[in-house]
Amino acid sequence: MGKRQRVVLYGNSLVLAGTAASLRAYPGIELICLDAQPPAEVQQLWALCPTVVILDLGAVPPEFPFSLLREQPDLVLIGVDAAGDKLLVLSGQQAHALTTEALVQVIEGRAHSPGRDSSL
């Protein structure tokens, strides 16, 4: 069995409660629910050392996900948009010397991701 992923559900919306109920079935995920209103408890969030943070995009200010990524660029941030029935996966990873080749690799990697709808 591999390393468990520490996933923090940040907030207390109905969408996140349903997400938590679904994720509890996966033994590879250590699930922590943090009932917080941004930005008041961000330090408590960082103290948990999450691998992934899931938040309801409709329940946080629009700039909040980006401020999280500025503070912790290695974090995988998943925004749940219940109104649009979508997930938005954000990463703060950066390239210091971006080349066209590196850009093409990122584009091709995303285009060939499993489960991606290539008809868009």
Which of the four pLDDT bands, split at 50, 70 and 90, describes residue 1?
low
Spans of all domains in the chain: 5-111
| Environment class of 9 (CB within 10 Å of its CB; exposed 0-12, middle 13-18, buried 19+) | buried
- Residue range 5-111 forms a domain whose CATH class is alpha beta
Q: Tell me if 82 sits within 8 A of 58, measured CB to CB.
A: yes
- The sign one gets for the Cα dihedral 108, 111, 114, 118 is negative
pLDDT at 30 over 80: yes
Residue of higher predicted confidence among 11 and 28: 28
Which segments of 1-120 are extended strands (E)? Answer: 5-10, 29-34, 52-56, 76-81, 86-91
Stretch 18-37: mean pLDDT: 88
* Higher-scoring residue by pLDDT: 45, 95: 45
| Burial status of residue 36 (CB atoms within 10 A of its CB: 0-12, 13-18, 19 or more) | middle
